[in-house]
């Protein structure tokens, strides 16, 4: 049940996440075009756009109800891994030839991409890790291989960021899954309440039918008793008997008024 909710969440997040990924790739190409050979950058951008378009096309084909949630989650993880590898290739392509300003700009772009990915993919941590790990590994490798004085701080800060991001993603996933479970519990409770309401209505109808039948069954002997009293009152009884018959008549009339 939870896996189906996870798959639906990924499905709803796909369009915006796919668009954001394409925009980030284009911005990276435009802002860092002088940090690497132009043909390589164009080839990388084409691969990114092709992968993004392919993911969007498959997401469009799979729109609607999800019949196999586990398969959908595995597909999301594979696509995230492909996306992560492509972004890692982009980092290794532009990082070595970039100055500190362009590297900082690259880190800002990657941070924005990672933030958007967290909200889209945190519901299924394997998909998020499949994106994060290649990118972080490429940043650390590029920083350490650069040989500059800031290589260790950059590498360490990147790893610290990864740890904090995964902790935040885990908390976000717990919140989302908790909301899914609460929604299912509320639905089950509502169904139980509806069943109990139906039972109560059925019992009320049965009681009404029973009282109607009992009233009919009791009305007949009371009516017969009233006829007997009327017949006795028409005969010339003694004074004491007449008084008692009057009491009986009052009692019969009172019982008849109850029906």
Q: What CA–CA distance (Å, rounded) separates 253 from 259?
A: 10
Residue 248 has pLDDT above 80, yes or no: no
Phi, psi for 223 (deg, rounded to 5): -65, -40
Residue range 232-236: average pLDDT? 59
Q: Specify the range with the lowest mean pLDDT, choosing from 111-115, 179-183, 225-229.
A: 225-229
- The tens digit of pLDDT for each residue in 18-56 reads 888 899 999 988 888 888 888 999 999 999 999 988 888
Structure tokens given for 137:
């590994």
Residue 234 has pLDDT above 70, yes or no: no
Helices (H), the chain: 2-31, 38-61, 69-94, 100-121, 125-146, 151-234, 239-257
Residue 224, classified by CB atoms within 10 Å of its CB into exposed (0-12), middle (13-18) or buried (19+), is exposed
What per-residue confidence (pLDDT) applies to 15?
A: 84
What per-residue confidence (pLDDT) applies to 13?
A: 86
What b-and-e string marks burial along 176-189, b requiring 16 or more CB atoms within 10 Å of the CB?
beeebeeeeeeeee
- The tens digit of pLDDT for each residue in 111-157 reads 888 998 998 898 999 999 999 999 999 999 998 887 577 788 888 99
* DSSP code string of 140-166: HHHHHHH-STTHHHHHHHHHHHHHHHH
């Amino acid at each position: 049940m939870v896996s189906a909710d996870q798959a639906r969440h990924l499905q709803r997040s796909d369009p915006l996440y796919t668009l954001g990924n394409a925009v980030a790739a284009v911005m990276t190409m435009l802002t860092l075009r002088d940090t690497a050979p132009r043909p390589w950058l164009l080839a990388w951008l084409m691969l990114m756009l092709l992968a993004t378009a392919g993911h969007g096309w498959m997401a469009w084909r799979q729109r609607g109800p999800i019949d196999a949630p586990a398969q959908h989650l595995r597909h999301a993880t594979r696509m995230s891994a492909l996306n992560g590898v492509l972004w890692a290739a982009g980092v290794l392509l532009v990082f070595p030839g970039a100055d500190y300003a362009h590297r900082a700009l690259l880190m800002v772009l990657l941070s924005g991409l990672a933030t958007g990915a967290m909200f889209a993919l945190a519901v299924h941590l394997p998909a998020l890790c499949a994106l994060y790990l290649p990118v972080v590994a490429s940043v650390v490798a590029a920083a350490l291989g650069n040989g500059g004085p800031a290589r260790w701080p950059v590498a360490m800060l990147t790893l610290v960021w990864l740890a904090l991001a995964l902790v935040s993603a885990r908390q976000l996933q717990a919140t989302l899954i908790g909301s899914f479970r609460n929604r299912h519990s509320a639905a089950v409770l509502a169904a139980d309440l509806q069943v109990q309401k139906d039972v109560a209505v059925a019992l009320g109808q049965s009681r009404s039918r029973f009282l109607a039948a009992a009233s009919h069954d009791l009305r007949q002997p009371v009516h017969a008793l009233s006829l007997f009293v009327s017949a006795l009152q028409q005969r010339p009884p003694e004074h004491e008997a007449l008084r008692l018959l009057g009491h009986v008549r009052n009692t019969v009339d009172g019982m008849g008024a109850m029906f």
